[in-house]
Chain A
Amino acid sequence: MTGRHHHKVRDSVAAALDGLESGMTVMVGGFGLCGNAEALIRGVIDKGVKDLTLVSNNAGNLGKGLATWLRADIVKKVICSYLGTNEDLHSRMASGAITVEVTPQGTLAERMRAAGAGIPAFFTPTGVGTVVEQGKEKRTIDGREYLLEKALPADFALIRARTVDTFGNLRFYRTARNFSPIMATAARTTVVEADRLVDVGAIDPDDVHLSGLYVHRVVHVPEHEDPFEYKTSRKRPEGK
């Protein structure tokens, strides 16, 4: 008999996604195309599952990232905060092919955090007096109104990290972190796509961003496309 934290490193994306089935709720890290687990995203399409509930801030954009799941028709519901220019999502929402639940971004994040922390629901001021309060319990606490929001758990979380040890302790890079660590806490099975895979002990305990306790499988993927969504820059002044 082995525990869930015995031998986490998998030698293929397919092995890392073992047990991910049609109809499941899957959280995928990333803010738009920033910080996507690109190989795991491709792997889910290759697996041939369908009717997924996708939890993601944006569900892809510009036909890339999770927009490939929308195009492959493997998603029945999206829980997100922002659609923006994601035409693949707009068109499928309009046709009724995909149900979209739009949640304020901070509430979405906190619902994941709550799920991972054993808190079934929480009160937040966000959304009071707006369409978001429809169907939710409202309570006045110390003179201010709050909405009751429920925790959001998932079957799988697919995330990306910069440096990961074989136990799953990991570090993120810049703003590629976003929802990934809280998704990892909210999911029954968390799979990490590691830019770099290192031995245990290579990351100082004080420098770990997310404990390996939240990670169940690791797959090493050194190459990524990392597409730009909006590449903005300024001219370098003369002589600098």
Chain B
Amino acid sequence: MAYSKEDMARRAAAEIPAGSIVNLGIGLPTLCADYLPEGHAFLHSENGLLGMGPFPFEGEEDPQLINAGKQTVTVLPGGSTFDSAQSFAMIRGGHVDLAILGAMQVSARGDLANWAVPGGKVMGIGGAMDLASGCRRVIAVMQHATKDGEHKLVATCTYPLTAARVVSRVITELGVFDPTADGCFKVIELAPGVDRDTVAKLTGAPLV
């Protein structure tokens, strides 16, 4: 049984040490917040918020309190707001301990591609490049391969890069894998019932 999206979010949340500052990317990474004990970590949102809380209760949404995905959120006791230059100084300056980001491709050396599809509509860069190159640790949470079986864990990224050699761990529905300096994915764990041969076929670089 491969990991469900919820399993992946729970597994990624387990990578967050107590008392850390974490930025969760848009999409699946956002779900990690549901698996963090209260007060475990401070969530950073690059539009200028630290101590981000869950979505507000119905009827209490505030259009001037949003996350970087422009969704209405809340701020927890101990939270703070600041401007965009300050927010990215936190990121670039290495004050954000961990970024958990979605990815389109990750190379076996840790290159990250998560902002553009070749030939696709240009959605923009947003905070992706700053987060990827600035946070102390970067974890990618992603589907292991495309629906057509095309590799997403690859030897070399063919999609435009977000940052080079930054991803230290990849969490997919098939397991947990670490890029290495010699261009292999190190198998950290396999999802229950997933065998190594299946993973090897769906991975574009050697496993060790």
Interface, chain A (partner B; CB < 8 A): 31-35, 57, 61, 80-84, 90, 93, 100, 102-110, 112-113, 124-132, 172-182, 226-236
A114 to chain B, nearest CB (A): 9
CB distance from B197 to the nearest CB of A (A): 33
Chain B residues contacting A128 (CB-CB under 8 Å) are 133, 163-164
Residues of B within 8 A of A182 (CB): 83-85
Known pairs A124-B92, A178-B47, A231-B61; A129 contacts B164 (CB<8 A): yes
Most buried by B among A84, A226, A232: A232
Given A107-B130, A175-B81, A181-B83, verify A130-B160 contact (CB < 8 Å): yes
B56 touches A234 (CB 8 A): yes
In the assembled complex, 15 residue pairs joining A and B whose CB atoms fall closer than 8 Å, in A order, are: A82-B125, A84-B124, A106-B46, A106-B129, A107-B129, A107-B130, A124-B92, A125-B92, A126-B129, A126-B130, A128-B133, A175-B66, A177-B83, A231-B71, A233-B60
Digit string of B80-91 for contact with A (CB within 8 Å is 1, else 0)? 011111011101
Could you tell me the distance in whole angstroms from the C-beta of A71 to the nearest C-beta in chain B? 19
The distance in angstroms between the C-alpha atoms of A90 and B161, with both chains bound, is 22
Contact B125 A226 (CB under 8 A): no
Give, as a whole number of angstroms, the nearest-CB distance from A93 to chain B.
8
Bound CA span A61–B123, Å: 13
Q: Are A80 and B164 in contact (CB under 8 A)?
A: no
When the two chains form the complex, which single residue of A35, A83, A112 contacts B124, counting CB atoms closer than 8 Å? A83
Could you tell me if B124 and A106 are in contact, using CB atoms closer than 8 angstroms?
A: no
Given the interface contacts A130-B160, A230-B70, does A236 sit within 8 Å of B57 by beta carbon?
yes
Given contacts A106-B92, A113-B85, A174-B75, contact A129 B63 (CB under 8 A): no
Q: Is the CB of A35 within 8 A of B64?
A: yes
Chain B 93-111, CB-CB to A under 8 Å as 1, else 0, gives 0000000000000000001
Contact of B84 among A32, A80, A105, A230 (CB under 8 A): A105
Q: Is the CB of A234 within 8 A of B58?
A: yes
Bound complex: CA of A113 vs CA of B160, how far in Å?
28
Interface on B for A, CB 8 Å cutoff?
Answer: 45-49, 54-66, 68-73, 75, 81-85, 87-89, 91-92, 111, 121-130, 133-134, 160-164
Known contacts being A130-B162, A177-B81, A233-B57, is A105 close to B66, with CB within 8 Å?
A: no
Interface class of chain B by DSSP: loop
Q: How far is B73's CA from A173's CA once the two chains are assembled, in angstroms?
A: 14
Smallest CB-CB A-B distances: 6 pairs: A106-B88, A106-B130, A82-B124, A129-B164, A109-B84, A82-B126
Q: Are A130 and B85 in contact (CB under 8 A)?
A: no
Partner of A104 from the list B47, B57, B129 (CB cut-off 8 Å) is: B129
Contact indicator A125/B55 (Cβ below 8 Å): no
Whole-angstrom CA separation of A104 from B84 in the bound complex: 12
Residues on B with beta carbons closer than 8 Å to the beta carbon of A112: 85
- Bound together, the chains give a CA A35 to CA B65 distance in angstroms of 9
Complex Cα distance, B106 from A160, in Å, reads 40
Closest chain A residue, CB of each to CB of B111: A129
What distance in Å separates the Cβ of B26 from its nearest Cβ neighbour in chain A? 10
Q: A126–B85 contact, CB under 8 A?
A: no
> Quick check: A106 and B48 within 8 Å, CB to CB?
no
A90–B71 touching, CB < 8 Å: no
**For B164, what are the chain A residues with a Cβ–Cβ distance below 8 Å?**
128-130
**Which residues does chain B contribute within 8 Å of A126, judged by CB atoms?**
92, 129-130, 133-134, 163
Which has the most chain B C-beta neighbours within 10 Å: A105, A226, A235? A105
Quick one: given A175-B81, A182-B83, A230-B70, are A130 and B129 in contact (CB under 8 Å)? yes
Compute how far the CA of A31 lies from the CA of B84 in the bound complex, rounded to whole angstroms. Answer: 10
CB pair B122 A102 closer than 8 Å: yes
Q: How far is the CA of A182 from the CA of B161 in the complex (A)?
A: 28
Once the chains are docked, how many angstroms separate the CA of A132 from the CA of B47? 21
Residues in B with CB closer than 8 Å to A105 are 46, 84, 88, 125-127, 130
Asked whether B72 lies within 8 Å of A83 as measured between CB atoms, the reply is no
CA distance A104 to B111 in the complex (A): 17
